[in-house]
Structure 1
Amino acid sequence: MLTVAMPKGRIFEEAVELLRKAGYNLPPEFEDNRRLIIDVEEAGMRFILAKPMDVPTYVEHGVADIGVAGKDTMIEEERDVYEVLDLKISECYMAVAALPTYEKNRDIAPKVASKYPNLAASYFREQGEQVEIIKLNGSIELAPLIGLADRIVDIVSTGQTLRANGLVELETIVPITSRLIVNPVSYRMKDTVIDEVVERLAAVVEGEEQ
């Protein structure tokens, strides 16, 4: 069996739909299953359901042969995996946001809150700006409202959450989509099977773009 690490949530639902369109026979109740490991023998696959940030770790360490991970996670985690296909699902982007009253003070290193400290630090370093990064695990929009940080770096999909909390976008950092990633050793051992998955998914992605 090919072991596939999948993130829970929106990416999972879109990736399952993509696999079905690629001809993989996943049962109708697949999305409603609460188990963390699901064997689908007719598709020749075993699925591991994980938190999005953990998917590249499972693939890097070989407990999963392939996985689906957001580009944001790939940039943040910098895992030793092959990124073989842009699935063009779960499109969003990484942005810098703040309160409308925010003004840059060059005399003080501003504080930036983010779930993505490595990505945020790298971005501001490239901009030549020295900042203090504060790592948070959720409710990033809260940081400027309570005075914890001057700005935030977070994923933006529609911008509705930012607006609901009175924040405005200042800069776009990078567009984000979900990618198919592969363990390097698995790619050598199961190249025929993995190449078939890549080709079938690529055909669906390209067909939907046209």
Structure 2
Amino acid sequence: MLTIALPKGRMAQDALQWLSRAGWPQPVPEDDRKLVISSLDGSLNYLLVKPMDVPIFVEQGAADMGIAGLDAIRERSSDVYEPLLLPFGYCRLSIAGPANRPRHPLRLDISPRVATKYPRLAEKYFREQGISAEYIYMNGSVELGPLVGLADLIVDIIQTGSTLKANNLIELYQIMPSQAALIVNRASYRLHAQRIQPLLAALQRILPD
């Protein structure tokens, strides 16, 4: 039996729709609170985990495959095989700040405090800009940072920008675009190639060019 890790939430729904179209065995409908669900034919186990944890499950071999955002994969610096990009989960990792922030280049900020759940990617970007920043790790409600004086800037995922606008924040710089990707544990890909490769081929056939 192969195991695939899916991120909880909207991306899991999108992933299952595409996997179903590709003919992958689907999970048996069960209690929404269950975190491990088997497919009807017993050939696949689906794990429902936090989006940022999918790369860890796959890299460490707890799952043979997974679907995760490129933002999570890069933040975790995961050593996994990335055979396919998938046409959903589009967003961008960006720096945002108060709408009334002085419009000067980022490099002129002196030791800004940055609230984020992406400390690795944030530190890399600011370092490349020659900026020494203080990073405040937050796992949710990052937008609150500048509003309550906890942080000067945030680094977070942005889709429509509506949450920023509602909290009087603006997008300043884009760090990287992101979308869903299918990832495979490197050892699993070698050991279970006869089972994994047909699944990948079936999915690739239905993806847009």
- Name the TM-score, length of structure 2 as normaliser: 0.92
- The residue aligned with 1:15 is 15
Residue 178 of structure 1 aligns with an amino acid whose one-letter code is: A
Change (3 A) 1:198 1:107: closer
- The residue aligned with 1:138 is 140
For residue 43 of structure 1, report the CA deviation from its aligned partner: 6.6
More helix by share: 1
DSSP 3-state at the match of 1:5: strand
CA deviation profile, 1:162-186 (whole Å, cap 9, x unmatched): 0000001111111110111111110
DSSP 3-state at the match of 1:4: strand
DSSP 3-state at the match of 1:84: strand
- The residue aligned with 1:173 is 175
Residue 134 of structure 1 aligns with an amino acid whose one-letter code is: I
For residue 8 of structure 1, report the CA deviation from its aligned partner: 0.6
Output the CA distance in 1 between the equivalents of 2:80 and 2:40. Answer: 26
Output the CA distance in 2 between the equivalents of 1:85 and 1:4. Answer: 14
In the TM superposition, 1:43-122 aligns within 5 A as: 44-103=43-102, 106=108, 108-122=110-124
CA deviation profile, 1:13-70 (whole Å, cap 9, x unmatched): 000000111012426736x632111111427211111111111111111121101111
Q: Percent identity?
A: 46
8 Å Cα contact 1:87/1:202 also seen in 2: no
- The residue aligned with 1:188 is 190
Output the CA distance in 2 between the equivalents of 1:187 and 1:89. Answer: 24
- Name the TM-score, length of structure 1 as normaliser: 0.92
Output the CA distance in 2 between the equivalents of 1:5 and 1:88. Answer: 18
8 Å Cα contact 2:28/2:39 also seen in 1: no
Change (3 A) 1:26 1:68: same
Output the CA distance in 2 between the equivalents of 1:6 and 1:110. Answer: 35
Change (3 A) 1:184 1:25: closer
8 Å Cα contact 2:27/2:37 also seen in 1: no
Deviates more, 1:124-133 or 1:148-157: 124-133
DSSP 3-state at the match of 1:38: strand
Output the CA distance in 2 between the equivalents of 1:21 and 1:168. Answer: 38
